[in-house]
């Protein structure tokens, strides 16, 4: 049996009470936890994350299309910044997802950027669960409140620019060095790989990020490095 979780505080924070509490439980069930609960007919959050990712992208796209006349390329960059895993992980931390996750003992100890990826995926799963439980309007209100509300900040701080190109310009200007990227960790089956990549100036690590491909992990690492470089 999974240990009990008190989801009422989360529901109070997001302003929504789930009719189907099983959906909410599944949001926080990471695949690693299933190894310690074999034979209990449990489903992890990956399929719900898949749904939530699509719902998040649709809501964000709809908002940008309806409110801005910018070219497609610009809107695509804005949307990418909104739905970037690092952004979602920050929101998940603000909502205190960490205490609600069902993780294996090993995964609990790992922490770091792998934990960020787990939180970002759970955030997408929550969007999927809200869509299933309350419909499109319910999910849309949540996305507008927690994700789209950050658009002005993203644009004013140029966070929508391609992080790798932006980091390269910044480091060449400040240090005369082009950043390089190294894979620090990869896990999961071939059809669902997760990569953790470090951004480096010479031998000094300046950022770290994760993603489902080396390219997306590099982008996340560059974004993380930019955040520290511009503080």
Q: Does 3 reside within a domain?
A: no
149 and 215 assigned to the same domain: no
CB-count exposure of residue 38 (10 Å: 0-12, 13-18, 19+): exposed
12-70 pLDDT per residue, tens: 999 999 999 999 999 999 988 877 666 667 889 999 999 999 999 999 999 999 999 99
Is 32 within a domain? yes
Split into its structural domains, the chain has a count of 2
Asked if residue 1 has pLDDT above 80, the reply is no
Longest dimension (CA), the chain: 57
Chosen domain end from 156, 179, 194:
156
Distance CA 164, CA 99 (A): 33
Give me the CATH number covering residue 46: 1.10.1520.10
Mean pLDDT score, 200-215: 91
Q: Which residues are catalytic?
A: 53, 124
Domain end among 105, 133, 156:
156
| CA terminus-to-terminus distance, the chain | 45
How many Cα atoms within 13 Å fall on the side-chain side of residue 228? 13
Q: Are residues 146 and 215 in the same domain?
A: no
Q: What pLDDT shows up at residue 52?
A: 98
How much is the average pLDDT of 137-141?
Answer: 97
Residues 70 and 114 in one domain: yes
36 near 108, Cβ under 8 Å?
Answer: no
Query: Edge to edge, what strands does the sheet with 204-211 contain?
Result: 180-187, 194-201, 204-211
**Is 97 within 8 Å of 28 (Cβ atoms)?**
yes
Give percent above pLDDT 70 in the chain: 94
* Residue 1 included in any domain: no
Confidence of residue 108 (pLDDT cuts 50, 70, 90): confident
Q: Give the model confidence (pLDDT) of 109-138 as tens digits.
A: 766 555 888 999 999 999 999 999 999 999
Q: How distant, in Å, are the alpha carbons of 45, 200, 226 from that of 24?
A: 10, 39, 34
Q: What is the CATH number of the domain that holds 193?
A: 3.30.160.20
Rounded Cα distance between 57 and 4, Å, is 32
Residues 134 and 51 in one domain: yes
Could you say which of 103, 126, 156 is where a domain stops? 156
> 28, 70, 67: which is closest to 45 by C-alpha?
28
Residues 40 and 109 in one domain: yes
The CB density around residue 7, as the number of other CB atoms within 10 Å, is: 16
Residue 182 lies in a domain: yes
Do residues 198 and 114 share a domain? no
HSE-CB at 183 with a 13 A cutoff on CA atoms is 12
Instruction: Write out the E strands in 62-216.
Output: 180-187, 194-201, 204-211
Parent domain of 27: 8-156
User: In this structure, are 117 and 204 located in the same domain?
Assistant: no
> What average pLDDT does the structure give for the chain?
89
Same domain, 141 and 225: no
Please tell me the predicted confidence (pLDDT) of residue 39.
62
Confidence label for 166 from pLDDT (cuts 50, 70 and 90): confident
Where is mean pLDDT largest: 139-153, 156-170, 174-188?
139-153
Within this chain, do residues 116 and 192 fall inside the same structural domain, yes or no? no
């Amino acid at each position: 049996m999974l240990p009990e979780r008190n989801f009422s505080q989360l529901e109070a924070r997001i302003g929504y009470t789930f009719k189907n509490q099983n959906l909410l439980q599944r949001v926080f069930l990471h695949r690693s936890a299933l190894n310690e609960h074999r034979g209990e007919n449990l489903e992890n959050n990956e399929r719900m994350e898949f749904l939530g990712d699509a719902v998040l992208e649709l809501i964000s796209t709809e908002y940008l299309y309806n409110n801005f006349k910018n070219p497609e390329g610009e809107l695509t960059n804005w949307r990418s910044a909104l739905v970037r895993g690092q952004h979602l992980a920050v929101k998940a931390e603000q909502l205190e997802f960490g205490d609600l996750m069902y993780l294996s003992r090993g995964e609990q100890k790992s922490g770091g950027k792998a934990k960020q990826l787990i939180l970002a995926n759970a955030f997408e799963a929550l969007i999927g669960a809200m869509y299933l439980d309350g419909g499109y309007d319910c999910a849309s209100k949540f996305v507008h409140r927690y994700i789209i509300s950050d658009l002005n900040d993203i644009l004013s701080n140029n966070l929508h620019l391609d992080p790798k190109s932006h980091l390269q310009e910044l480091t060449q200007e400040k240090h005369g060095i082009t950043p390089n990227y190294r894979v620090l960790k990869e896990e999961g089956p071939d059809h669902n790989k997760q990569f953790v990549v470090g951004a480096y100036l010479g031998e000094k690590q300046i950022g770290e990020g994760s993603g489902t491909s080396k390219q997306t992990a590099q982008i996340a690492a560059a974004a993380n490095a930019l955040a520290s470089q511009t503080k």
